[in-house]
């Protein structure tokens, strides 16, 4: 840490920057696109193909064709379950990678631990951080290999899901007139599946082209997701609103394509080194021995869990967080560790890291005022850490203009541009890099209600917050499984690892039900309650009381009681993965009831 940085001064600066951004409306500052601007949700990539409504029966219906659906279906198929049907509102498999095709999109977590089923498919990621087209193609590869296209329903929105006690099956209705049944129901809708728009006055009045980053309009911009130049922007003035992980990846591409780029910033991201590189196939040949991908995922998780493994296979900005804390704790003396010394070590290592990230801005950005505005004044995990080697450099281009709103955000949109602090910036196109809904009610994000046994709805069951056992099973909802991150490992730095694990659970539970000839499987009320007590005894993922607002802390309102339910296994991700493996493997599936 530079000598000039005093922890007391820094804490005060962080508080001031946070306070500037706190607003009473929290998540309500964003508008629900489906209500106000449904055109922003249309699929720009594939046309909707006519098909007959389905009225048949599937063994397993899974809502969502992203990694969760692909992994679960693959494991079910491997277990010999036939009749797996995936339903998605997108036109193909891919989930977030179907929708997010903005220029420069790539995974922020190393491909070797992020891309699912590399061993099973034999695919070698071409780069340490693969770009979006390769990941989308990989999703298609998995779907093809496991025969998932045969029964998939795309461009199909589920409208209603209800348990039918008489037949012991789920009844699923959709926007395409389907009304089919399924013995089992899986839900993997993704943590960031509903784009949101900021509630900026005048948005509807804009006369130019505007779109959300998750629905990129290549027709307007030219170019394509693989990085071809967006030639149609050559004479265009483009404004981009938002500077989160998405904007950090697409701004360098826009910067090189358009006549003028105005970047409207409310809070700067922390942008650390990316250091991407092509995969050396000889090296990959050596590491890719049987079981390698799970070992890599476990090693990555252990480095994120502060389990302090000696080895760090991935060695990147994410594992650096764990390495630094480990170093600090060792330095403090492990025998001296108390909650206070641990907190002090965490803070100290964070101050150093963020100081380095701010110094990186000064080293790269030539204009001192611009550099100052691009510095993040909060702890690294208050917001999603970003990693990029061309983002900050883009601000040295003469056509790129940072419009820093000093925490206040864009004031207004007019028919011809964007207003900040009373000044209008005329633009031809507005790109909303404004993120996705987090923290809103499940049914709002899903777009449908789930009615379980005795007419009990998921909205009722989760009125005071999400309730599950292991993040997978819900009492009152037989034969239903969630495949997601919360209330399990909660490993946010590698979401697919959570899904990989839950998919394994689902396949093993379904196989067991078949072995014991059970028609229904459901978690008991007691087991769900006991799990919730355990989970709530730990820390919520969405907290960050001292943090600047963002979706990690419910936009500065961490006291919303429902937020504390976004928690995980208190002992951390690695401990969870060990616990659940033991739970699955002893064959008792404690807490679940298998009945005829």
Binding site for ligand NDP (CB under 6 A): 21, 106-108, 192, 198, 200, 241-247, 249, 264, 266-267, 384, 405, 409-410, 433-436, 550-551
Rounded least distance, CB 406 to ligand NDP, Å: 11
Complex with ligand NDP: residue 249 or 498, whichever CB lies closer: 249
Complex with ligand NDP: residue 6 or 423, whichever CB lies closer: 423
Rounded least distance, CB 548 to ligand NDP, Å: 7
Long-range contacts, stretch 575-579, CB < 8 angstroms, 24+ apart:
575/305, 575/307, 576/488, 576/489, 576/490, 577/298, 577/301, 577/489, 577/497, 577/501
3-class state of residue 238 by DSSP: strand
Phi, psi of 317 (to 5 degrees): -65, -30
Rounded least distance, CB 435 to ligand NDP, Å: 2
Specify whether the CB–CB gap between 182 and 163 falls below 8 A.
no
Calpha distance 287→281 (Å, rounded): 10
Calpha distance 134→140 (Å, rounded): 10
Rounded least distance, CB 146 to ligand NDP, Å: 24
Rounded least distance, CB 551 to ligand NDP, Å: 5
Rounded least distance, CB 409 to ligand NDP, Å: 3
Rounded least distance, CB 17 to ligand NDP, Å: 10
Complex with ligand NDP: residue 365 or 450, whichever CB lies closer: 365
Complex with ligand NDP: residue 388 or 461, whichever CB lies closer: 388
Rounded least distance, CB 452 to ligand NDP, Å: 30
Complex with ligand NDP: residue 36 or 525, whichever CB lies closer: 36
Complex with ligand NDP: residue 245 or 563, whichever CB lies closer: 245
> Residues, the chain, total?
596
Specify whether the CB–CB gap between 149 and 294 falls below 8 A.
no
Complex with ligand NDP: residue 376 or 458, whichever CB lies closer: 376
Rounded least distance, CB 434 to ligand NDP, Å: 4
Calpha distance 105→496 (Å, rounded): 17
Complex with ligand NDP: residue 267 or 270, whichever CB lies closer: 267
Phi, psi of 212 (to 5 degrees): -90, 150
State which H helix or E strand residue 187 sits in: strand 179-187
3-class state of residue 414 by DSSP: strand
Rounded least distance, CB 331 to ligand NDP, Å: 31
Calpha distance 227→222 (Å, rounded): 10
Concatenating the DSSP letter of every residue in 199-222 gives --TTGGG--SEEEEGGG--HHHH-
User: How many Å separate Cα 459 from the centre of its chain?
Assistant: 22
Complex with ligand NDP: residue 243 or 451, whichever CB lies closer: 243
Phi, psi of 285 (to 5 degrees): -60, -35
Closest CA to 324 of 354, 344, 350, 343: 350
Complex with ligand NDP: residue 186 or 409, whichever CB lies closer: 409
- Enumerate the β-bridge partners of residue 162: 171, 451
Phi, psi of 56 (to 5 degrees): -95, -160
- Enumerate the β-bridge partners of residue 260: 237
Rounded least distance, CB 30 to ligand NDP, Å: 7
Calpha distance 138→114 (Å, rounded): 12
Complex with ligand NDP: residue 143 or 203, whichever CB lies closer: 203
C-alpha separations of 290 from 118, 235, 299, 542 in Å: 11, 53, 16, 37
């Amino acid at each position: 840490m530079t000598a000039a940085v005093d922890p007391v001064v820094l804490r005060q600066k962080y508080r001031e920057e946070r306070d500037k951004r706190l607003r009473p409306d929290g998540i309500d500052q964003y508008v629900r696109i489906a209500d106000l601007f449904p055109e922003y949700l249309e699929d720009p990539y594939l046309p909707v193909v006519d098909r007959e409504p389905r009225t048949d029966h599937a063994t397993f219906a899974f809502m969502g064709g992203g990694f969760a659906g692909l992994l679960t279906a693959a494991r079910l198929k491997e277990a010999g379950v036939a009749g797996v049907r995936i339903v998605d509102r997108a036109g193909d498999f891919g989930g977030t990678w179907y929708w997010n095709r903005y220029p420069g999109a790539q995974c922020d977590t190393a491909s070797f631990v992020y891309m699912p089923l590399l061993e099973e498919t034999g695919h070698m990621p071409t780069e340490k951080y693969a770009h979006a087209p390769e990941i989308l193609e990989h999703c298609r590869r998995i779907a093809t290999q496991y025969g998932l296209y045969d029964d998939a329903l795309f461009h199909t929105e589920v409208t209603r899901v209800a348990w039918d006690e008489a037949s012991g099956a789920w009844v699923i209705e959709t926007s395409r007139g389907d009304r089919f049944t399924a013995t089992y129901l899986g839900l993997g809708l993704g943590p960031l599946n509903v784009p949101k728009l900021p509630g900026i006055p005048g948005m509807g009045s804009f006369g130019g082209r505007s779109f959300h980053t998750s629905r990129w309009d290549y027709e307007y911009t030219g170019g394509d997701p693989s990085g071809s130049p967006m030639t149609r922007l050559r004479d265009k003035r483009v404004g981009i609103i938002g500077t989160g992980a998405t904007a950090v990846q697409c701004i360098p591409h826009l910067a090189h394509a358009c006549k003028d780029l105005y970047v409207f910033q409310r809070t700067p991201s922390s942008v650390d080194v990316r250091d991407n590189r092509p995969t050396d196939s000889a090296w990959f040949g050596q590491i890719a021995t049987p079981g390698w991908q799970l070992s890599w995922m476990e090693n990555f998780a252990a480095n994120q869990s502060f389990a302090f493994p000696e080895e760090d296979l991935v060695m990147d900005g994410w594992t650096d967080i764990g390495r630094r804390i480990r170093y600090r704790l060792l330095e403090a003396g492990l025998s001296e560790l108390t909650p206070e010394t641990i907190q002090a070590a965490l803070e100290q290592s964070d101050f150093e890291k963020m100081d380095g990230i701010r110094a990186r801005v000064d080293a790269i950005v030539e204009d001192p005022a611009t550099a100052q505005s691009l510095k993040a004044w909060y702890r690294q995990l208050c917001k999603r850490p970003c990693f990029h080697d061309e983002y900050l450099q883009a601000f040295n281009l003469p056509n790129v203009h940072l419009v820093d709103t000093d925490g206040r955000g864009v004031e207004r949109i007019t028919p011809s541009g964007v207003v900040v602090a009373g000044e209008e910036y005329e633009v031809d196109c507005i790109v909303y890099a404004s993120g996705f809904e987090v923290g809103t009610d499940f049914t709002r994000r899903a777009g449908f209600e789930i009615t379980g046994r005795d007419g009990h709805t998921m909205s009722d069951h989760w009125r005071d917050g999400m309730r599950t056992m292991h993040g997978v099973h819900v009492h009152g909802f037989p034969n239903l499984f969630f495949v997601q991150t919360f209330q399990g490992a909660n490993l946010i730095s590698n979401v697919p690892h959570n899904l990989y694990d839950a998919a394994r659970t689902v396949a093993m539970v379904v196989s067991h039900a078949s072995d014991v000839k059970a028609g229904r499987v459901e978690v008991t009320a007691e087991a769900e309650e006991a799990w919730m007590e355990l989970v709530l005894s730990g820390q919520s993922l969405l907290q960050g009381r001292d943090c600047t607002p963002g979706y990690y802390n419910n936009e500065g309102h961490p006291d919303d009681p429902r937020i504390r339910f976004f928690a995980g296994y208190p002992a951390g991700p690695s401990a969870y993965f060990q616990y659940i493996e033991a739970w699955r493997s002893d064959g008792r599936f404690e807490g679940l009831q298998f009945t005829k």
